[in-house]
Chain A
Amino acid sequence: MATDSLAVRVLLFARARELAGADSIALALPSPATVADLRTVLASRHPAIAALLARSALAVNHAFADDSTPLSPSDEIALIPPVSGG
């Protein structure tokens, strides 16, 4: 059975950006999808960032999201490695 697909783009920063060699990654997720689904697909498609992803947060529309947060096509999604400002 065909399922709908949700196209998202994940913004990358700092070491995640350097490991991926790009400042964003486009992904097709099964729809509906949550942050947990995004983590699974991102780790399997981009093993170079999997270890850092496991200890990073995800942000949706500039707010920290948890694994149950649902995703929409218009969301601005970002991978937030442990921060080190200051």
Chain B
Amino acid sequence: MFRLTHSPIDSAALTESVLRPGCGGVVLFLGTVRDLTGDVRTEFLEYEAYAPMAEAKMAEIEADVRARWPVGDVAIVHRLGRLEIGDVAVAVAVSCPHRAQAFDACRHAIDRVKELVPIWKKENAPDGQADWVH
């Protein structure tokens, strides 16, 4: 499952959604909004996506993860719009029979999301300065 959303991400519900009787390892990764990047303070972030391509890439990533590991289920959600410090921007939940597989599959999925999915963040500083991270 993959999804773009403008609503807060319910990480507990997402984790529940990938639980399977045959899977004894479940890994959840959350990417949250950080207050400091280097020595630059962030007030809030804005995320923008090229939605149809982002969904196509997330589908490819899901298929890739399922092809490489014995995945019970995988859920990838990325939030868009304005996010405050501490908000969950991205969540990846993976279940596998064993923990090593689940860790590896989850790590692979989030690394690919950050590399391939056309989503951009704009950092807004307390002084009103704002810039895209490219």
Chain A interface residues (CB < 8 Å from chain B) = 11, 13-15, 18, 52, 55-56, 59, 62-63, 76, 78, 80-86
Contact = CB atoms under 8 A, between A and B. Distances in A.
Contact of B50 (A59, A82, A84): A59
A80 B118 contact: yes
Interface in B104-124: 110, 113-122
B132 A83 contact: no
Interface string B41-65: 0000001111011101100000000
Contacts of A14: 48, 120, 122, 132, 134
A16 B116 CA distance: 18
A13 B118 contact: yes
Contacts of A84: 119-121, 132-134
Nearest to A56: B134
B22 interface: no
A81 B48 contact: no
B89 interface: yes
A86 B120 contact: no
B86 interface: no
A63 B56 CA distance: 8
- Chain B interface category by residue count: 20 to 34
B90 interface: yes
Contacts of A86: 31, 78, 89-90, 110, 113-114, 119
Given A85-B90, A86-B113, A80 B119 contact: no
A62 B114 contact: no
A86 B76 CA distance: 11
Nearest to A82: B134
Contacts of A56: 134
B132 A81 contact: yes
